[in-house]
Amino acid sequence: MARMLSRDLPDIESILALNPRVKNHASLRSTTTTKKEKKHWKRNSDKNCSSCEKLENNFDDIKHTTLSERGALREAMRCLKCADAPCQKSCPTNLDIKTFITSIANKNYYGAARIILSDNPLGLTCGMVCPTSDLCVGGCNLYASEEGPINIGGLQQFATEVFSAMQIPQMRNPQLLPPEEMPESFHSKIALFGCGPASVSCASFLARLGYDNITIFEKQKFVGGLSTSEIPQFRLPYSVVDFEIKLMKDLGVKVVCEKGLGSDGMALNSLREDGYKAVFIGIGLPEPNRHKIFEGLTTEQGFYTSKDFLPLVTRASKAGMCGCRSKLPVVHGTVLVLGAGDTAFDCATSALRCGARRVFVIFRKGFTNIRAVPEEMELAKEEKCEFLPFLSPRKVISKAGRIASMEFCRTEQDEAGDWIEDEDQIVRLKADFIISAFGSVLSDPVVKEAMTPIKFNRWGLPELDPETMQTSEPWVFAGGDVAGLANTTVESVNDGKQASWHIHKYIQSLHGSAVAPKPQLPMFYSPIDLVDISVEMAGLKFPNPFGLASAPPTTSTAMIRRAFEEGWGFALTKTFSLNKDIVTNVSPRIVRGTTSGPIFGPAQSSFLNIELISEKTAAYWCQSVIELKTDFPNNILISSIMCSYNKDDWTELSKMAEASGADALELNLSCPHGMGERGMGLACGQDPELVRNICRWVRQAVKIPFFAKLTPNVTNIVDIATAAQEGGADGVTATNTVSGLMGLRADGTPWPAIGGGKRTTYGGVSGNAIRPIALRAVSAIARALPGFPILATGGIDSAESGLQFLHAGASVLQVCSAIQNQDFTLIQDYCTGLKALLYLQSLEQLQNWDGQSPPTPRHQQGKPLPKIADLVGKKLPSFGPYLEERKKILAEYKLKLKSTNDTIVNEPNEGKTYMAKKPIPTVQDVIARALKHIGAYGILDNKEQVVALIDEEMCINCGKCYMTCNDSGYQAIKFDPETHLPTVTDSCTGCNLCLSVCPIIDCITMVTRTTLYEPKRGVPLAVDPLC
């Protein structure tokens, strides 16, 4: 019997075993079975876990906030980019958070990093260690929604990490005079003590202001202060500190190690004698606050302060920190950590990595009084540290010269709110080691003597003005822990930032120079910011290729004025007409699209509008154009006009617009709704003959350039563009909106619905949803009419998408829907993004990057993965028993490294800087670059085939590739029922559908097929059809 062709073969049926099926009955399975099954698929920790993960010598990233590119893009898209954003008000360094998140969402990672580093020179450090839940995240408006606040710290870390991988140096503010021409005051000698966050911040801003004789004196052999010596590698790698110090040094700041206050005669008085005009003290609090009950105890007996313990841990785990190859401090058994701050929890989690079996964090007050940020406490809890509240240390019990236990008494809070110790409640805990983390102090008499003559407060810290960071000596400033105001790294950074401006004011006052009453600290600059993105088209010089389309963002000329002030290169007026054709709009008339599903808020992929042309008169627009061209002579202003098919009307209106001083005209021959019924817009633009004649009329009437705005609602847009060129147009705009009906409600009524009758009409669809249509139109016109100028519009929402249109043949880019989603400040992101995309093309070292996206490292949850298959020769997914096995393999690997005293972190890229080796392309250089790759189907080679390759280490086992291949493809992916690892079979045809639906970037790649591709014909070609 012949096989039924409409049935799957047995081997295909085997593949389809786990393919979804419609459920026809309720499921039945015992609780016992489910509990057993649950363990097999479980990805998070088992609450009943009796054995803890071995962490010894494992200093891999443990932060929950770390993001991959996929995670960063999804999170950035969630951000609302709020007006007067509360998150920004909660950031000590006043980061422009919504702007840098906007740049991340637009894949402009340099732009995001530039915004971050402009306000915070230690932006990467703070992205990793900031207590964001108590700062920016605490103010996020999405706290009021079900999905919760934005992971701001993770986004900040991601953007600055990508920029650090670009290895591009910081440079002086290009607006400054050359160093040799700067006023004498900017050559003043400035000293900073301590190379920690406060000093690095202060020095960076002073250097950006133009000061060129700045020296940081650091008493240690390494730089970075507490960021280096006391924050563990798994929270803050040394390469991060190295990166930020390097950026500071790019500006000429000098760092002298092993020289600090009180050493080698270094004192404030001697510095003054040496000609220093200002000093910043950022030495932190170098001595531990040591409780009297620990007097006489040593590390040999098992006692450490946090100031002893953490530097030992960091020296052994942070490659590049210093030249030594020291070993981790050896701890074992039970470790008691005393304290409730961030440092205490760093000690606790570090102790586990040094060999502790159990760690107890003990503190005097309750959980609600813990000073540490929730992120730190949660990590310690996940790593099975135990918390013991309401205990105050009384005495240490030693046996045979070693710590054996410790005695505590219970604490309670009385009705007045005071904490008291109850001597009747005594608790004794066995211990092998004790780590005291009771804070730090400034107690070294030599250092304090070197700070003479500044005055000290009752806490033994310098007296200072909290607004200016100025001490009792006007030329001496302080910040960070030593100033007594900062409790976190980011607050220390802000102390240095605050002090830099007031040091600047002080030094300028010495030279009789006034400074702006409002602080004006320079932004971060790199060679990317010098890239020229101006472009010429039709004899017009555009300062940048981004402009406002004739649309709602140009409803009034006051809006255009604001857009020019923000930096937009050009703008079109809202389309206007003669008074006899004046319109009145209906409402509602602009609605969100349904093309991305139920997404509410910004980030709409489309809008539909039934808005007509401007309700304002031609007289208003012409007078406003005169005003705008007077105030913005370098910006291009194009008047958008519309008439019916009448030569006199087009002649009159075009001459009126030219007389107002417009740089060019756009002839709106394409409005898809409303105006066509009046014989205008689309009614003219769909007929090549009408387009040709209208262009001829306008060409006869005016001398300035004009462009015909084309509709995509035609069979062949090239015919319309050709007609415009033949009529004398200087170029075309491609394209206007696509005619559509966005949606109908469940009761059959439309949206937008006008009036009591709930009537609607077909409207214009705009936004990213029509980008493929617009790209096709632009490239088709550019191929057919080489060199004919094209103004692109339709789905331009970033520098990356703008570059696509330039590659397709456009010269300048009109934007509307993206602004409707956000605001005019987008232009900053677009300009920095385009500059970065052009600059990176000149770096040979980054040729494997896709724009600003680096190659995706093998990862899960944003954290790099070791390839388990390389360690044990087999592939394991990351859930259930396989996850436990992975952890065990990794723990053994880390211990093996420890036994060989080998480092497990990468060396920082110290001294490595990437500079442009090839010419940086201009905008003109990239126009139409893609056209050589676009053509008819017949040019495609069906002999160069590819197949899918799945990276099983990155796979999250969702099976989306498997399902789409089964029900929409070629049944070429097997799905293991136990491991849920997908495997591509020889039946793969390289269709790319699996890659298209895979949720993990680069988990699936398409690689060259190594065997001959033979299509499955179903039946042999020689067989005649039966039908």
pLDDT (tens digit, 9 = 90+) per residue, 642-682?
999 999 999 999 999 999 999 999 999 999 888 988 999 88
Q: Helix, strand or coil for residue 191?
A: strand
In sequence order, the β-bridge partners of residue 214 are 190
Residue 13 structure tokens: 């049926």
CA distances from 1013 to 894, 946, 984, 1005 (A): 45, 9, 15, 18
Residue pair 108/798 in contact (Cβ under 8 Å)? The answer is yes
Confidence of residue 264 (pLDDT cuts 50, 70, 90): confident
Cβ–Cβ < 8 Å for 543, 933: no
**Starting from the edge strand earliest in sequence, which strands make up the sheet with 402-413, in order?**
391-399, 402-413, 419-430
Q: Is the pLDDT of residue 910 over 60?
A: no
Per residue in 311-350, is it b (16+ CB within 10 Å) or e — as a string? bbbbbbbbbbbbeeeeebbebeebbbbbbbbbbbbbbbbb
In 47-169, the DSSP E strands lie at: none
Which among 188, 236, 242 is positioned nearest to 215, based on CA atoms?
Answer: 188
- Residue-level pLDDT at 398: 95
Mean pLDDT, to the nearest integer, of 371-385? 89
User: How does residue 908 score in pLDDT terms, banded at 50, 70 and 90?
Assistant: very low
Whether the CB-CB separation of 663 and 636 falls below 8 Å is answered with yes
Task: Give residue 1024's pLDDT.
Answer: 73
Neighbours of 827 (CB within 10 A): 21
Is 289 in contact with 341 (CB distance < 8 Å)? no
How many C-beta atoms surround the C-beta of residue 80 within 10 A?
Answer: 17
Q: Alpha-carbon distance 657 to 642, whole Å?
A: 11
Q: Specify the pLDDT at position 903.
A: 47
Instruction: Indicate the Cα dihedral angle 539, 540, 544, 546, nearest 10°.
Output: -110
- Strand, coil or helix: 734: strand
Residue 436 CA to residue 434 CA, distance in Å, equals: 6
Show the tokens assigned to 741: 């009906």
pLDDT tens string 44-66: 887 765 556 788 899 999 899 99
3-state secondary structure of 171: coil
* CB-based contact 354:331 (threshold 8 Å): yes
CB 662 within 8 A of CB 704: yes
Structure tokens at 263: 């050493």
Percent of the chain with pLDDT over 70: 98
The enclosing H or E element of 362 equals strand 358-362
Cα–Cα distance, 878 to 495 (Å, whole number) = 44
Q: Name residues whose C-beta falls within 8 Å of residue 541's C-beta, 6 or more positions apart in sequence.
A: 534, 535, 634, 636
- Token pair of 76, please? 């950035």
Would you state the structure tokens that stand for residue 312, as one six-digit string?
A: 């030992």
Report which of 253, 123, 263, 308 is spatially closest to residue 197, judged by C-alpha positions: 123
Could you give the CA distance from residue 226 to residue 353 in angstroms, rounded to a whole number? 19
Kindly tell me if the per-residue pLDDT of 474 is higher than 70.
yes
pLDDT attached to residue 902:
57
Percent of the chain with pLDDT over 90: 86
AA identity, residue 144: A
- Lowest-confidence pick of 60-64, 208-212, 249-253, 802-806: 60-64
At 946, which helix (H) or strand (E)?
A: strand 946-950
C-alpha distances in angstroms, 348 versus 345, 351, 381, 839, 978? 5, 5, 10, 45, 37
Exposed/middle/buried for residue 183 (C-beta within 10 Å: 0-12, 13-18, 19+): exposed
**Residue 131: pLDDT band with limits 50, 70, 90:** very high
Note the pLDDT of residue 867. Answer: 72
User: Where are the alpha helices (H) located in 436-592, listed in sequence order?
Assistant: 445-450, 489-510, 557-566
What residue type is assigned to position 954 of the chain? M
Asked if 311 and 230 touch (Cβ cutoff 8 Å), the reply is: yes
Q: Are 998 and 1004 in contact (CB under 8 A)?
A: yes
The answer to whether the CB of 93 falls within 8 A of the CB of 490 is yes
* 228 pLDDT higher than 50: yes
How confident is the prediction for the chain on average, in pLDDT?
94
Residue 870: its pLDDT value, please? Answer: 76
| pLDDT score at 52 | 66
405 pLDDT above the threshold of 50? yes
Lowest mean pLDDT among 190-199, 434-443, 669-678, 991-1000: 669-678
Task: Report how far apart, in Å, the C-alpha atoms of 404 and of each of 309, 334, 428, 702 are.
Answer: 19, 10, 10, 96
Segment 478-490 shows an average pLDDT of: 96
Report the pLDDT value the prediction gives residue 901, as an integer from 0 to 100: 63
Residue 907 has pLDDT above 90, yes or no: no
Q: Which residues are catalytic?
A: 671
Distant-in-sequence, close-in-space partners of 60: CB < 8 Å, separation ≥ 6: 234, 863, 864, 904
Angle between helices 97-105 and 109-119 (to 10 degrees): 170
The answer to whether 723 and 689 have CB atoms below 8 angstroms apart is yes
The confidence score (pLDDT) of residue 875 equals 82
Highest mean pLDDT among 584-588, 873-877, 879-883: 584-588
